[in-house]
Amino acid sequence: MRIAFNATGLLSPLTGIGQYSRHLAMGLAAFKGIDADFFYGAYWSKDVRSAPLPVAASVLPWIRSNVPFSYELRRLVQTQRFKAHARPERFDIYHEPNILPLPFDGLTVLTVHDLSWIRFPQLHPAVRVRAMNKYFEPGLKRAALILTDSEFVKRELMDVFGVRPELIVPVPLGVEPLFRPQLADETFPVLTRHGLQHRQYLLAVGTLEPRKNLQLALHAFMQLPPAIRKNFPLVLVGMTGWHTSALEAQMAPLIQSGEVRQLGYLSRTDLATVMAGALTLIFPSIYEGFGLPPLEAMACGVPVIASDVSSMPEVVRDTGMLIDPHDPQGLAEAIEAMVTDSATREKLAQKALVRSREFTWDRCVEQTIGAYLQVLPLHK
């Protein structure tokens, strides 16, 4: 089976969709019977990139913010480069792993991760919402098969766009073996480098942007007793996104006092260790199509406090505490319970570890290829 795979997401530092694209690309490249070509915006390769472009983290955000119609120009160039190589006689399937497929005259498989720009447009930059509104629905109509990260997103596509359920196949994401329980002596070198102590901090992971709702985490944290704030600082991991000035102003005095620590974007190995050493992961996101950080924490045996909306109850189930993402008092109470009730925390940790074993990237790859095989004969 010959697959054209859009791997441009691997050129930037990887967030959730990038992790999905990378693991799926690696799985396709290694799978016997699959001949995959990977498209990197301006060129094609048989190889899966192992690192982003060195300038991507700093240059690409600047271009998006300062160059008019930068997305349209980039998409025009990518479409021309893509179509020059991606022809139906060369590929059986084109898989677009990142929501907006490029034009292809053959069979298109599309992964839709969420509809957050429709449900919560105010939580995205206006330029992103315009691009999604312009390109998403035409691409959706061209897709012969749609993959989603969860049953929740399948229902969203049916409700919002009237997609027939037989065209949608939910394929849950996976978690790397890198994310596993670690004892204090294992985490010590990395945590020491970041000024942290094993099980002596609260963790929040995600790009600093409105949708991740870290403002709620800060409000809840400030309601905790001073002794808890002092002994269990809130550690933030993730890139700076957009519309963060109010959040940064709110964090400034807490950072100065040491009650909040901002680590920025971490390597996967450092992230796995920081995750494994945390007391709990706080994930109050307003909307997620899956939510990789909760699963990664669960695989580390770290219980999660997550929102009770969108896909998160589907992933976390009863292995963590689910809270209203608009209720700082409820989140503060859940955090205090995690800190003070070690028996409940340990019980949740064990349940989370067992639940996490149901999710692997190998299974994600196998189910994706199974979906290819399901749709391919229908379009021969």
8 A C-beta contact, residue 196 and residue 234 = no
Cα–Cα distance, 143 to 108 (Å, whole number) = 5
Least Cα distance to 136 among 152, 121, 115, 122 occurs for 115
Structural domain that includes position 312: 184-356
Cα–Cα distance, 169 to 148 (Å, whole number) = 6
* Structure confidence by residue, pLDDT tens digits, 217-275: 999 999 999 999 999 999 999 866 554 566 677 778 888 888 999 998 899 999 999 99
Domain identity same for 216 and 338 = yes
Domain identity same for 222 and 333 = yes
Cα–Cα distances in angstroms (integers) from residue 11 to residues 14, 206, 297, 323, in the given order = 8, 19, 26, 35
Domain identity same for 321 and 344 = yes
Asked if residue 46 belongs to a domain, the reply is: yes
Q: Any idea what the CATH number is for the domain that residue 142 is in?
A: 3.40.50.2000
DSSP 8-class letter at 263: E
Residue 64 carries which side chain, given as an amino acid letter? Answer: R
Least Cα distance to 112 among 70, 73, 77, 154 occurs for 154
Domain identity same for 106 and 139 = yes
Asked if residue 339 belongs to a domain, the reply is: yes
Asked if residue 267 belongs to a domain, the reply is: yes
Asked if residue 324 belongs to a domain, the reply is: yes
Cα–Cα distance, 201 to 229 (Å, whole number) = 9
Cα–Cα distance, 112 to 17 (Å, whole number) = 10
Residue 64: what pLDDT? 55
Residue 357 carries which side chain, given as an amino acid letter? Answer: R
Domain identity same for 336 and 369 = no
Domain identity same for 201 and 258 = yes
Least Cα distance to 349 among 216, 199, 212, 227 occurs for 199
Cα–Cα distance, 32 to 374 (Å, whole number) = 18
DSSP 8-class letter at 86: -
Strands (E), 308-362: 321-323
Kindly tell me the burial class for residue 318, based on how many C-beta atoms sit within 10 Å of its own C-beta (0-12, 13-18, 19 or more): exposed
Domain identity same for 191 and 224 = yes
Domain identity same for 165 and 143 = yes
* Structure confidence by residue, pLDDT tens digits, 312-345: 999 999 999 999 999 999 999 999 999 999 999 9
Domain identity same for 20 and 78 = yes
Asked if residue 69 belongs to a domain, the reply is: yes
Asked if residue 179 belongs to a domain, the reply is: no
Domain identity same for 296 and 314 = yes
Domain identity same for 202 and 153 = no
The residues of the chain scoring below 70 in pLDDT are 54-70, 209-211, 239-247, 380
8 A C-beta contact, residue 289 and residue 152 = yes
Residue 65: what pLDDT? 56
Q: How many domains does the chain have?
A: 2
DSSP 8-class letter at 252: H
Domain identity same for 145 and 57 = yes
Residue 241: what pLDDT? 53
Asked if residue 163 belongs to a domain, the reply is: yes
